[in-house]
Structure 1
Amino acid sequence: MAGGGSDKIDYVFKVVLIGDSAVGKSQILARFARDEFSLDSKATIGVEFQTRTLVIQHKSVKAQIWDTAGQERYRAVTSAYYRGAVGALLVYDITKRQSFDHIPRWLEELRSHADRNIVIMLVGNKTDLEDQRAVTTEDAREFAEKENLFFLETSALEATNVENAFQTVLTEIFNIVNKKNLTSDPQSTNGAPTQPGKKIIVPGPAQEIPKNKACCNTS
């Protein structure tokens, strides 16, 4: 699943991670992008950015994953980063009820800034702290069904379901994009065939990374 030729990328998909501060967004990203976990990670300031290339149905898919800061004071800054996103992981901490209670607000913000067809996965993180659970799986699943979201519980610490969450979102985006290509082709160029192996860049111009904001790690 992981890996893929760096010289030939068939698709680029932008995915954002959103949710309250300290729910584990950066750890989920580190686990997926680098298979790392750090117990002393610091709060994200602004936006961090990672990529990973996967193979989906024999195509090379580059995931551009943007980790937006959860702190309230950065929300005005990060709202621009929703633009062009075709996937999102909406993350809460299963041990902090408040982080789950804020999910509707995050979802509303996401839907007002992102593409209407964005693929959204609700993620309950920190299942390794089951004994401190404050949000039941049933509550979260019910909310996800009501809002038509995918849903998984993860543990970035134990690497549980992190890969699965991203794979699900990226595969769904891949299927949607391919379906769109198939349905739009007949009327696009008077029946002319499309170029095989044409690179499809999603989201286009919005994926340009501001050099000074691409990564704000503090070591």
Structure 2
Amino acid sequence: MLLEVRDLVAGYGDLEVIGPLSFGLNNGDILVVYGPNGVGKSTLLKTLATILKPLRGSVLLMGEDAVKHREEIFYVPESITLPERLKVRDYLNVVSLLYNGGEIDEALKIVALPGDVRVNTLSQGLRRRLQLASVFVARARVYIIDDPTVGLDDYAAEHLVPSILGEVAKRGTLIVSTKERRLTEAIGALKNVKMLNALEYSRVVRPSEAAPNESRHR
């Protein structure tokens, strides 16, 4: 088992947000964590990425505490934050150096971005494309992407994101969160996909409290 989660409860301080959860993922597996806003998806992903400490339970990577292998986890947050002064290619070069990556030209081609423009000239949607390009460039055992469709137009959300995620999943384990039914369905067409309904494990929002059209989307 590459990544193993045992009786995990995630949250902040004394506030338990989501859990307990237990699951295991191997190379090539994709886990889609779906559900409406506010149920704990981001909290869970930050905990899996070792940014937050588990309140209870454990996250194991290659049989050890995931913190010991933090460099093997590539995490993209929901927020679109990038170094403003760097050029696009320079940013991908940094990612490549930190994560033993490559294929920068291919990544730029896939996301349709020029490499010689500064990040501060890009729209939010193009910045998200750059973040997705960084996922393609990095080499890691676990990739964690919080809501990859944030800021993207419909075409990119429906076609570009599933294409990139499918390629990345061939290299390791991929964990993605989303509130978008369309992305859930698109990723569901890929191989080795597991679905996790975050609402069922939320300790701050119960299924009965969610909007009727948000409580389920399998």
TM-score range, shorter chain: 0.3 to 0.5
TM-score (norm 2): 0.33
- Bigger relative contact order, structure 1 or 2 (CA pairs below 8 A, ≥6 apart): 2
TM-score (norm 1): 0.33
